[in-house]
Amino acid sequence: MKILVDVIFLIILYIFKLYPKWKQKGKDVLLVNTTMYIFLSFVLYFTLMPIITSLPFIFNHPYSPMNLVPFVDVLSGRGDFIRQVVLNVIMLIPFGFLFPLTIKNEKDNRFLKTVLYTFLISLSIEILQPLIGAFRSADITDLITNTIGGIIGYIFYIIFRPLTTRILKHIKDK
């Protein structure tokens, strides 16, 4: 039920602020940005929600420091480390694919921007997780695997670039 507050906020933000702005820029921009927004909303759902109802309590529990030993779970065989690594890679593959589509300036280095923004999103999540919920922790392995996921997504973007360019051009011309 607490998550419903966040979902309602995200819907209101989209309907009244983002949708009108993106629609004005064209159907292709609306499609790409809306897809990215839905994807990022799901990332928030799986990593940080509930957010709004947790804000009053962020200082009511100790902050667990980030685990700075990469792949310690893998090396020590703790928990379901393979599942965690795979899910963290998969989680940001769509971002690595969609983000370059949002960059309109052809002269921008899309690869470096994609890696940087993937890293920053992952870092933000890892820093905020222990603040928002006492049961969550931050891990350098997640940061590394999320960034790898963004790079894999960018590779998919390169592979499917001719197809996505054609599809977006067709949508824009309609």
pLDDT tens-digit map of 98-113? 999 999 877 788 999 9
Q: pTM score, two decimals? A: 0.91
Burial class (CB in 10 A: 0-12, 13-18, 19+), 139: buried
pLDDT beyond 80 at 69 = yes
Please report which confidence band the pLDDT of residue 91 belongs to, taking 50, 70 and 90 as the band edges. very high
- Alpha-carbon torsion 164, 171, 9, 104, what sign? positive
In the predicted model, what is the mean pLDDT of residues 57-75?
Answer: 82
- CB of 10 closer than 8 Å to CB of 76: no
Average pLDDT, the chain: 92
Instruction: Tell whether the model's pLDDT for residue 133 goes beyond 80.
Output: no
Which of 10-19, 62-71, 100-109, 122-131 ranks highest by mean pLDDT?
10-19
Q: Where are the alpha helices (DSSP H) in 66-174?
A: 72-76, 81-91, 93-102, 110-132, 140-173
Structure tokens that stand for 10 in this block: 């995200």
